[in-house]
Structures are given as C-alpha cells and as structure tokens.
Amino acid sequence: MQKTLYDKLWDQHVVHAESDEANGMVLLYIDRHLVHEVTSPQAFESLKMAGRKPWRIDSILAVADHNVPTTDRAHGISDPISRLQVDTLDQNCAALGITEFKMSDQRQGIVHVIGPEQGATLPGMTVVCGDSHTSTHGAFGCLAFGIGTSEVEHVLATQCLVTQKSKSMRIAVEGELGLGVTAKDIALAIIGEIGTAGGTGYAIEFAGSAIEALSMEGRMTLCNMAIEAGARAGMVAVDETTISYIKGRPFAPQGELWSQAVKYWRTLHSDPGAAFDRTLVINAADIKPQVTWGTSPEMVTTIDGFVPNPAEVSDAVKRQDMEKALQYMGLEPGVPIQSISIDKVFIGSCTNSRIEDLRAAAQVVDGKHVASSVKLALVVPGSGLVKHQAEREGLDKIFLAAGFEWREPGCSMCLAMNDDRLNRGERCASTSNRNFEGRQGPGGRTHLVSPAMAAAAAIAGRFVDVRTMN
Amino acid sequence: MEKFQTFTGIVAPLDRANVDTDAIIPKQFLKSIKRSGFGVNLFDEWRYLDHGEPDMDVSKRQINPDFVLNQKRYQGTQILLARDNFGCGSSREHAPWALQDYGFKVIIAPSFADIFFNNCFKIGLLPITLDHSLMDRLFNAVNEVEGYVLTVDLQTQTLTTPAGERFTFVVDTFRKHCLINGLDEIGLTLQHAGKIKQFEQKRRAEQPWLFS
Ligand code: SF4
C-alpha cells in the first residue's frame, strides 16, 4: 500500500495498539523529549510524588526560554516568580541528570530553535514538548507535536504517549514565490484560507515545488505555524536540503551511523499516489506579503488590502468576533493596511528568529533608520548561536545603527512573560505567531508579519510593501 | 484523578468562537510551579477590569460586571457552553486546570482545538462536542431561562434538559473508561512496560543513531 509520510512515521512508533473498541488509541514511542520551564515543573513534581523515574534520560533536552531576560544576564532574573520557575527546571535537571542548556550557556535559546540547531531533532523521530509550537520540528520529516503537562509526565515516566492518529492533509504550494514573499507569508495565507480550525484533527504535510525550494529555516517557519491552522503537526519530506542542514551538528550521527541514518531518512516522503483525507493546492505566485488585522491569525489580509467590514459578513458568530477584534485592535473597517502606523516592532520568536530571518530583516534596514514615531524596535535572536552567527556577519551593527535594540535570546515579546511587552493600546509589527488579545502584553495590539515586513514597518513607522522598498 | 460521576449543573454561555488558552489563563499566571489555584484567574482579562498579576488579593480587584461568569445567575456553574475551536493556541494545561479549579466539569462546544481537548481528558474534565444547531438551541435556552441546568451522564453518554429532553454525545471508549474509573494513565501504560522495552531494543538495533 502507498503510504503517506505521516503513515510511515506513525507506523514506526506504535508500541501497542488497544483493541478496536478503544477507537484507535495507541501507545506511541517518543524518541526526543524537549523540556522548558513553564510546562514541566508540575510534571516533575508528580513524577517524584509517585516515586517514578524518567524512563530514558538521554532522550531529554531541557532549556529555559520563556522567562529569561533578554537584557544583561549577569545579575540573573529579577522577577522572583520567573526566577523560581527557571531555578526549578535547573534543579530538576540536575537531580535527574538531564542535559540542560542553562541561561549562561551560549547554546541556550528558544526550545524550537535549539533542537534543530543542535541536531537533536532528526528525521524519522517522534518529537514532543510541552509546547504547541513543537510542530516546528516537523520540517525535518519527523512527527513532532505539542503536549500538555500530564503528557509531559507520561512521556517522562513511560517514553510513550497514549494517543490517536490524526487525519492527513496535503497542502501543496506550487510554483515560485514572488520576490519579498517568504515562508511566513505562505503560512499566513494558508491560515487565511483554511481558518484557524481548518487543520483541526489533521496532520499536515506541506509539499510542492515552492516548499521544496524553501530553506530549512523557511520550512520551520511554516511547520511552526501549522498549529495556528489548528493542525497538531506539520511536516515536510526529507530531501537534500534537510540532510545537508543536519550534517555535522553536535547531536547528529557521525561516520558509519551517519550513512546508515541518511539511507533511512531518504525513505521519509509520501509514496507517489498515497491517499490523503484532504488536499489543497496553492499557487505560490498568488501569495503576497501578509499582515494580520485582528486577534486571530486567520484575520489576515495582504499588504495592499484593507481592514474588512464585519457588516458584510452574514454569519452572526463570525461577525461578532470581527467586531470585537476590530474594537480591541482600535481599527475601523475599510482602512488601508498601509495607513496603519505602529508603535513597536518585534523581530524574534520560534517562528522567525533564525539566521535567515535576521538576514532578511537586516537587508531591509541596512543604511536606513527606524522611524522616529516607533518607540521600540527589538531584535531577539532565537539562540545564543544564532546571535553569535549574526554578529560574525555584522548584522548586529546594521540593526544597532538603524536604531534597533539587539538582545539576548529567548521568547521575549512573543508572549511577554519576561519584561519585554507592549503597553495597553500599543501597536506592534511582530514576527511571532499569535495575535491573540493580550498576548504581547495586556491591551497590546499585534500584527503578524514576516521579518522583512516587520523591518520595513520599523523604517516607515507604518506597514509598507517590502517589495516596493529599495 | 477523581472519578467522573453523573451530576446536574448550572450552565453558563460563553458566546464567542476561537477562545484561546491565552484568554482562558493569561501567561503571567503560568509562572506558578503548582497545579492548583488557577481558578481565580480564569478568563482574567475579561473577568476583571484591572490588570491581574500572580499573588494579588482577589477581593480587592475590580470585577467586570458585564462578563458572563460574573453575573449572579451563573454563580456555581459547572458546565460551560462555548463556540467553535474552543481552547486554541498554546498547549498550556493550565487552561483546563483553571477551568476545573473554577468549578467546571464539562465544556460543550461545536469543536475544540486538539491539544486542549486531549488535555481535558487527562485531568478529568469532559469536553463534549455537539453539532451547531443543537449548540444554538442550548445557547438560546440558557439565555432565556435563569438557572438553566443540564444533567450529564457519562455512562449513558447523555445530556438531559430540565424538560426531560435527552441528547446523546460521542466519547472515545478508552477515555470514557479512564474518566469513569478515575484511572491513572501512567499506571495503565506501565502495565505494558515489557512491551515498551522490547520495542526500544528493536529500535536500538535498527536505528542505533537515535540512542547514541
Ligand atoms: S517563541 Fe513564543 S511561541 Fe515560540 S515557544 Fe516561545 S513563547 Fe512559545
């Protein structure tokens, strides 16, 4: 039988299938368990209280990212509650012998950036983390998804998850992307089309010539946003781009094991003619730079578009949601997106904080200056190694000369658990993944865009079409 | 986990779609390393007019009188009605913890986000999916009748209205079994420890690079 990539990954990991009656519940073996400070303390505590030990310590990699300051770290974390959470992770890892990249370690960064960067995420694996954006890792042809804290404990204790197979969806993006159009725009355009619940119950495979042409960074951005489309997992087949990205990374296999692994990895793609429950084809050339206008990633339009009018929507629930969103965002129907001015800019998050993202943003700002109306423009690299690489390329100098702040790695203003946040009513061009109410600070207004578009907005003080900037 | 028993509870309507877990429990409360105490901050941004931070004295906070859960008629509610895609966004289990800690035992919506749906079962909170037309009828009934209650019977998979009308709902057999018996899923899985070890050995032989 012809198998999808998802079928192959699934079948490789089923330890035990309950009888039919259990509606397809299986025990799924987990190869890689990534852990961060926010969703793990309760799991470690319950584990200890039950007198249990982690099943396989070497499958775990831990890092603190959500609560860490992005400013000088010499004095540690000032907020006592944040500090306790990070200390708790440190203690749990030390007590159990779990590998952890501490705040002072150059390898520290956002969990979804460091996994691939270290080669800890490999094709064919099952990867879980107590974090919804674990879908990011699917870019490597692995099955990666977010889990809750009870499941974190379950994986710690048993190396398995009790779970059900999802339906499969194939989204093919065919043709060539226009200049200045990025993986982020593909992701937002897809969500705009299928909605934030469009992928619910599905594992999505992204395919087609435009996806094949993407770098690993771009594929990660796309899979990262699969969760915003409601899908639990996003994935891309393994190809030469995947393999050459992994080669030589610290946790990647070497020598004889490398050749053995690569041979297997090359089988990780959907067989020709494999059946999907749903398929969608998108023409890459039709995708324009995207900007969200509301409080859900599906509330999105193109840079040459306008804020939509709820009065034109017939569905009552939807209309009401739009009205609430516009009120929250302080926007009127019919306003051109390009006339919306911004207060802050955030370039970072597990969606867009990798080297390629920083290069794209730096290219736009090079030799220019952030508009005087913009109160703060932040660049927060995804990891210490990304930061180091960017500095080697002189990107930090470009950003600093343009009036950006250049920070230490972490989640930062993606969810504002540390000190980086929006004040009430402030409007932000952000490269993160969620524009929910209060996500970047209570009362803050988020517009999701690509790194190049965020950079362009910083310079202009409002949203502009990066394709028209020189 | 506590056993899920049949009960009759007051129903409260939350009439918006795409309610995300950031709205259910805002991030500043995620800094807690405990599993309990999230109920007072459930829907914090909507429920209070002032900005909430952990360790605030709740009795001194400004209540938003317009928010549904603050209305007198819904005090003591145990069943939440919601719209499509409830629980989307972050995977934080703090969201179901907060709903449960507040007193909810059941959430009824036309659709749920995957991870949230899953997380609910792990802690003994029951998410029920009903079709849109039934949902509309329930929303109307709750709005019209003060003190509207439903009886939830997981064993027979039914919801019973005060007028005696019964709706059935679908629930996965394994999850139902765990909920009704209050089973510890880890304990259940460890009954297969031998099988997991065997699987692991085979995997180690076939894909040794995963274990180096
Ligand atoms: S960067 Fe944002 S979305 Fe990504 S893991 Fe951190 S908080 Fe979550």
Per-residue pLDDT reduced to its tens digit, A62-103: 999 999 999 988 888 988 889 999 999 999 999 999 999 999
Question: What's the pLDDT tens digit per position in A345-374?
Answer: 999 999 999 999 999 999 999 999 999 999
Q: How far apart are CA A164 and CA B200, in angstroms?
A: 20
Which pLDDT score is estimated for A18?
74
Picking from A27, A148, A166, the nearest residue to B91 by CB comes out as A148
Residue of B nearest to A414 (CA): B27
Q: How far is CA A57 from CA A32, A53, A243, B91, B138, in A?
A: 10, 9, 26, 23, 49
Among A227, A350, A430, residue to substitute to test ligand 1 (most atoms within 8 Å of Cβ): A350
CA-closest candidate to residue B17, choices B137, B120, B110 = B110
Q: How far apart are CA B105 and CA B126, in angstroms?
A: 6
The CA-based dihedral angle spanning residues A308, A313, A319, A323, taken in that order and rounded to the nearest 10 degrees = 30
Q: How far apart are CA A395 and CA A404, in angstroms?
A: 11
Indicate yes or no: CB of A317 within 8 angstroms of CB of B119. Answer: no
With vertex at residue A419, the alpha carbon angle to CA A418 and CA A420, rounded to the nearest 5 degrees, is 95
Which pLDDT score is estimated for B103?
97
Indicate yes or no: CB of A81 within 8 angstroms of CB of B31. Answer: yes
Indicate yes or no: CB of B96 within 8 angstroms of CB of A148. Answer: yes
DSSP A393-462: TTHHHHHHHHT-EE--SSSGGGTTSSS--PPTT-EEEE-SS---TTTTSTT-EEEE--HHHHHHHHHHSB
Cα of A411 from ligand 1 centre, angstroms: 5
Task: Name every chain A residue with its beta carbon within 8 A of the beta carbon of B62.
Answer: none
Indicate yes or no: CB of A15 within 8 angstroms of CB of B173. Answer: no
One-letter amino acid identity for A390? Answer: A
Question: What's the pLDDT tens digit per position in A248-272?
Answer: 999 999 999 999 999 999 999 999 9
Q: B8, B70 in Cβ contact below 8 A?
A: no
Asked if the C-beta of B105 comes within 8 angstroms of chain A's C-beta atoms, the answer is no
Atom of ligand 1 nearest to the CA of A36: 5
For the record, the structure tokens of B116 come out as 């949230």
What SS3 class is residue A32? strand
Task: Name every chain A residue with its beta carbon within 8 A of the beta carbon of B186.
Answer: 50, 52, 153-154, 157-158
Q: How far is A205 from chain B (nearest CA, A)?
A: 17
Question: What's the pLDDT tens digit per position in A195-228?
Answer: 999 999 999 999 999 999 999 999 999 999 999 9
Asked if the C-beta of B62 comes within 8 angstroms of chain A's C-beta atoms, the answer is no
A415 touches ligand 1 (CB under 6 Å): yes
Q: How far apart are CA B29 and CA B52, in angstroms?
A: 9
A129 touches ligand 1 (CB under 6 Å): no
Among A223, A352, A380, A415, residue to substitute to test ligand 1 (most atoms within 8 Å of Cβ): A415
With vertex at residue B90, the alpha carbon angle to CA B87 and CA B96, rounded to the nearest 5 degrees, is 50
For the record, the structure tokens of A114 come out as 């460091």
Sign of CA dihedral A195, B120, B129, B81: negative
Question: What's the pLDDT tens digit per position in A386-406?
Answer: 999 999 999 999 999 999 999
Which pLDDT score is estimated for A470?
63
E-assigned strand segments in A293-407 = 300-302, 344-347, 376-379, 405-406
Percent of chain B residues topping a pLDDT of 90: 91
Indicate yes or no: CB of B209 within 8 angstroms of CB of A442. Answer: no
Among A38, A349, A435, residue to substitute to test ligand 1 (most atoms within 8 Å of Cβ): A349
Picking from B22, B83, B193, the nearest residue to A438 by CB comes out as B22
CA-closest candidate to residue A223, choices A150, A142, A159, A149 = A142
One-letter amino acid identity for B122? Answer: K
Q: Mutate which of B19, B88, B173 to disrupt the A interface (most A C-beta within 10 Å)?
A: B88
- φ/ψ of residue A54, rounded to 5: -60, 145
Indicate yes or no: CB of A82 within 8 angstroms of CB of B31. Answer: yes
Indicate yes or no: CB of A438 within 8 angstroms of CB of B118. Answer: no
With vertex at residue A98, the alpha carbon angle to CA A131 and CA A138, rounded to the nearest 5 degrees, is 35
Sign of CA dihedral B1, B6, B8, B10: positive
Q: How far apart are CA B65 and CA B71, in angstroms?
A: 7
Indicate yes or no: CB of A197 within 8 angstroms of CB of B93. Answer: no
Which pLDDT score is estimated for B6?
97
What SS3 class is residue A3? coil
- φ/ψ of residue B34, rounded to 5: -100, 170
Q: B7, B151 in Cβ contact below 8 A?
A: yes
**Site of tokens 């911004």:** A342
Q: A427, A373 in Cβ contact below 8 A?
A: no
Picking from A154, A317, A320, the nearest residue to B185 by CB comes out as A154
Atom of ligand 1 nearest to the CA of A112: 5
DSSP-assigned beta bridge partners for residue A378:
A346, A405
Atom of ligand 1 nearest to the CA of A349: 1
Q: How far apart are CA A131 and CA B93, in angstroms?
A: 10
Which pLDDT score is estimated for B208?
97
Maximum alpha-carbon separation in chain A: 65
Which pLDDT score is estimated for A21?
55
Q: How far is CA B121 from CA A388, B97, B183, in A?
A: 43, 11, 11
Q: How far is B149 from chain A (nearest CA, A)?
A: 24
For the record, the structure tokens of B178 come out as 């765990």
DSSP-assigned beta bridge partners for residue A143:
A126
Question: Residue B146: pLDDT band by 50, 70, 90 thresholds?
Answer: very high
Q: Is the pLDDT of residue A22 over 70?
A: no
Cα of A415 from ligand 1 centre, angstroms: 7
**Site of tokens 């790194």:** A451
Maximum alpha-carbon separation in chain B: 65
A331 touches ligand 1 (CB under 6 Å): no
For the record, the structure tokens of B103 come out as 């007193």
Helices (H) and strands (E) in chain B, counts: 8, 7
Q: How far apart are CA A116 and CA A268, in angstroms?
A: 17
Indicate yes or no: CB of A197 within 8 angstroms of CB of B174. Answer: no
Q: How far is CA A166 from CA A7, A88, A194, A343, B137, in A?
A: 10, 34, 17, 41, 30
Q: How far apart are CA B164 and CA A416, in angstroms?
A: 48
Asked if the C-beta of A198 comes within 8 angstroms of chain B's C-beta atoms, the answer is no
DSSP at A196: T
DSSP-assigned beta bridge partners for residue B143:
none
Q: How far apart are CA A280 and CA A186, in angstroms?
A: 13
Question: Residue B79: pLDDT band by 50, 70, 90 thresholds?
Answer: very high
DSSP-assigned beta bridge partners for residue A96:
none
Q: How far is A15 from chain B (nearest CA, A)?
A: 6
